[in-house]
């Protein structure tokens, strides 16, 4: 309804708005942390490698001129939304660590046999649960990295990317400058599609 690409809106903008609303409470209850569930899909395929350019992010990720997508293009859209997750966590930590709020991002595992496929066709559901699921992490294993990030000392996880319960390097495309650019752009987009910016406490979309 707001015109934002569905993956970027769901996986990034929604997280951004929610976190902005929670920040006063998080700061008041420091030490606090935000754990962002991202994905190794942020390594690629992605829509664009120019993740530090505001105009490119806007045109190719947030407001692309496209309708139906082939599979590889859809994977690139998803990968890009997960790239935004990692960038958001890094910039949030940079901005808020001094206020007692740290942030990190993580990859829980690939194709874990959760109920995520419940709305797909029966063949896909069967394949994920009974074929692919036999060779991927269990649900318990899939939660382990999330729990590590939630429970480890804050100085250990602050600003980092985790996989298999260990700190790992994220994509080399992610720089401090790119993360700051994304944050500024997201603030602009939120202000455009809502009557007031995310920091005012209003979430009423224009025209609602």
> Which residues are annotated as catalytic?
78
Q: What token pair was written down for 45?
A: 């395929």
Q: Could you give the CA distance from residue 153 to residue 166 in angstroms, rounded to a whole number?
A: 13
Q: What is 34-103 written as a DSSP string?
A: EEEE--GGGGSS-S-S-TT-HHHIIIIIIS-S--S--HHHHHHHHHHHHHHHHHHHHHHHHHHGGGTEEE
Peptide bond into 187 cis (omega under 30): no
* Residues in contact with 174: Cβ distance below 8 Å, sequence separation at least 6, in sequence order: 51, 83, 86, 87, 90
Q: What is the Cα–Cα distance from 63 to 86, expressed in whole angstroms?
A: 20
Q: How far apart are CA 47 and CA 77, in angstroms?
A: 6
């Amino acid at each position: 309804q707001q015109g934002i690409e569905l993956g970027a809106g769901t996986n990034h903008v929604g997280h951004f708005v929610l976190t902005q609303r929670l920040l006063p409470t998080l700061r008041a209850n420091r030490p606090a942390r935000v754990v962002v569930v991202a994905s190794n899909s942020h390594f690629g395929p992605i829509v664009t490698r120019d993740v530090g350019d505001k105009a490119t992010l806007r045109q190719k990720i947030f407001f692309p001129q496209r309708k139906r997508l082939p599979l590889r293009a859809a994977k690139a859209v998803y990968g890009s939304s997960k790239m935004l997750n990692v960038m958001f966590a890094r910039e949030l930590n940079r901005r808020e660590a001094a206020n007692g709020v740290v942030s990190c991002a993580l990859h829980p595992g690939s194709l874990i046999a959760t109920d995520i496929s419940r709305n797909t066709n029966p063949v896909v559901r069967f394949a994920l649960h009974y074929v692919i699921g036999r060779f991927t992490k269990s649900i318990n294993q899939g939660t382990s990295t999330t729990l590590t990030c939630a429970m480890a000392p804050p100085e250990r996880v602050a600003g980092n990317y985790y996989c298999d319960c260990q700190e790992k390097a994220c994509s080399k495309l992610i720089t401090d400058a790119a993360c700051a650019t994304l944050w500024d752009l997201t603030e602009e987009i939120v202000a455009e599609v809502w009557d007031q910016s995310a920091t005012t406490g209003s979430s009423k979309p224009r025209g609602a």
